[in-house]
Amino acid sequence: MLIKGNIIHTMTKDAFEILRNGYIYIKNERIEEIGKDLNEKYPDEKVEDYTNQLIIPSFTDLHFHAVQYGNLGIGLDEQLLDWLNHYTFKEERKFEDLDYAEVVFRAALEHVIQSGTTRIVFFSSIHEKATKLLMDLCEAYHITAFVGKVNMDRNAPEYLLEETESSYQGTLRLLEHSEHVKGIITPRFVPSCTINLMEKLGSLASLGYPVQTHISENLNEIDWVKSLHPEYEDYLSVYDACQLIGPKTILAHCVYCTDQEIKRIKETGAFVAHCPTANLNLTSGIMDVKKYLDEGIQIGFGTDVGAGQTPSIRQVMVHAIQVSKVNQMKYPERKRISFSEAFYMATKGGGQYFGKSGSFEKGYSADFLVIKKDPLCEIRKMTLIEELQRFIYAGDNQKIDKVYNRGRLLHSNH
C-alpha cells in the first residue's frame, strides 16, 4: 500500500523530517520506504491519496489507568493520597463487575483511538478477569498495548487488598497474551506492595518481562516511602533492589527524582513516562523534562488518565511545553522544551518502548494519522510546520481524519 501526503516525523528530538506530497510504502504492516514518486516505482500498489494533508506518526501513551476512565475530570480539587482514597480506589473496586468493566473499557478505547493514540500502556485494577477482558478488547480494537493487572498487598482498602501469592500468580497468568497485546508486571507503587511481593515480581522481570510502576510523583508519597523503608537510600533503590528496574521498565512521573536516581535510570535504560497534565491536576509538582531529554534518557508521555483529564497525547504535548516554560520561570537555570522535542516524545520517544515505532524510518510499524486540512492553511500561507503547530496546539479530535495502526485503518472521521 502507498500513502500519499505531506509527511512529517521526528527521527531525532531536534529536527522534523518533512516530505511534501511524498509517499509512504507499507509492506507487511511496516514502513518499507518513504520518498517522492513511489507510485512510479510501485505502479501496482493501491494509493491512499491524502494530497496536501499532513501525515504524522500516531501517538504513544506510556501511562493510562483504564479503570479510571469513568473518573475522567472528576475530583481534581484533591491531592494524590486523598484523591486515591476518595475517588480512585472506590472506582477501581467496581471492576469486580465485568459488565461495568466492559462499558468503561470500550468507552476508553474508543476515546483513545479517536485521540490518535494507537500504542498504549495500561494499568488495569487488581482484578484478573477485568484485566484479561481489557487485553481482549485491545486486541479487538487492533491497538498495540501492554496491559497490567495491578499488584497491591498492603496499604489499600480491604476490598482492593490481595494475598501476596495470589497477586503474583495473577500477574504470572496474564503475562503471555498475543503478538500485539502483552501483559506487564504492575506493582502499583512501593507503599502498595510488600518487599516480598516486589521480589517475587522482580524474579519475573529478570526473565525479561516488562514492568511499570509509579515513582516520586508527590512529596507526601516520597516521605511515606522513606518512612516505610529507611533502609534504602532512595525511592528508586527499593525497586532496584527487587530487580524491577531495567530497559523494559516504565517509571511514571519522576517529578522529584534525585541526580543519583536519574543517573541510575539512565544506566538501566528504563523508560520515563512524563505526565504533566496529571502533575498539574493533583498539584504534584513540575518535572524538569528537559534534563531527562538532555541526559538521553528514554522518555515519552503519559496521559495518566484519570489524574490527567484527557486521553489526548496531543493535549499532553502542549501541557508539557507550557509546564516546561513554568519551570523556566521558576528556576532560570532550567530550560523549556521545544516543539520538536515534545513531538518526538509523543511519537518516537514513547514509541521505542514498543520497538520500532513512532517514526517513518524503514522497518518501523506503519502507525500514523492523517490530519484534516484547515481551510485557513492556504489563505494564511502556512508552512507545513505551522500547519502541524496549529493542529497540535489548536486542533481537536475532529481534526484527525484517519487513524492507522500497523497499516490498518482503525478510525475515520466523517
Is residue 228 part of the contact set for a second copy (CB under 8 A)?
A: no
The most distant pair of C-alpha atoms in the chain lies apart, rounded to whole Å, by 67
Interface residues for a second copy in 259-298 (CB under 8 A)? 280-281, 283, 285-286
Q: SS3 sequence, 216-261?
A: CCCHHHHHHHHHHCCCCCCHHHHHHHCCCCCCCEEEEECCCCCHHH
Q: Which is nearer to a second copy, 243 or 328 (CB)?
A: 328
Q: How far apart are CA 164 and CA 20, in angstroms?
A: 56
Instruction: Compare residues 201 and 287 and give the one whose CB is closer to a second copy.
Output: 287
Any contact of residue 396 with a second copy (CB under 8 A)? yes
Please report, for residues 33, 161, 193, 259, 361, the alpha-carbon distance to residue 220 in angstroms, rounded to integers and kept in the order given.
50, 22, 17, 20, 43
By CB under 8 A, name the one of 12, 49, 73, 157 that touches a second copy.
73
- The torsion angles phi and psi of 80, rounded to 5 degrees, stand at -45, -60
Q: Looking at this protein, which amino acid is placed at residue 383?
A: T
The nearest distance, CB 11 to a second copy, in angstroms, is 20
Element (H, E) at 94: none
In the window 93-122, what residues touch a second copy (CB under 8 A)? 100, 103-104, 107
Stretch that binds a second copy, among 16-24, 33-41, 119-127, 377-385 (CB under 8 A): 377-385
Q: Is 325 in the site for a second copy (CB under 8 A)?
A: yes
List the helix and strand counts (H, then E) for the chain.
Answer: 17, 17
Footprint of a second copy on 174-203 (CB under 8 A): none
Asked whether the beta carbons of 372 and 124 are under 8 A apart, the reply is: no
* Element spanning 96, H or E: none
Q: Considering only residues 194, 309, 347, 365, which one is a binding residue for a second copy as defined by CB under 8 A?
A: 309
What is the nearest approach in angstroms of a second copy to the Cβ of residue 110?
Answer: 11
Instruction: Tell me which of 52, 155, 196, 328 binds a second copy, using CB under 8 A.
Output: 328
Say whether residue 15 binds a second copy (CB under 8 A). no
The yes or no reply on residue 414 touching a second copy (CB under 8 A) is no
Q: Which three cell numbers stand for residue 264?
A: 541510575
Binding site for a second copy (CB under 8 A): 69-77, 91, 100, 103-104, 107, 280-281, 283, 285-286, 309-310, 318, 321-323, 325-326, 328-330, 336, 338-339, 375-376, 379-380, 382, 386, 389-398
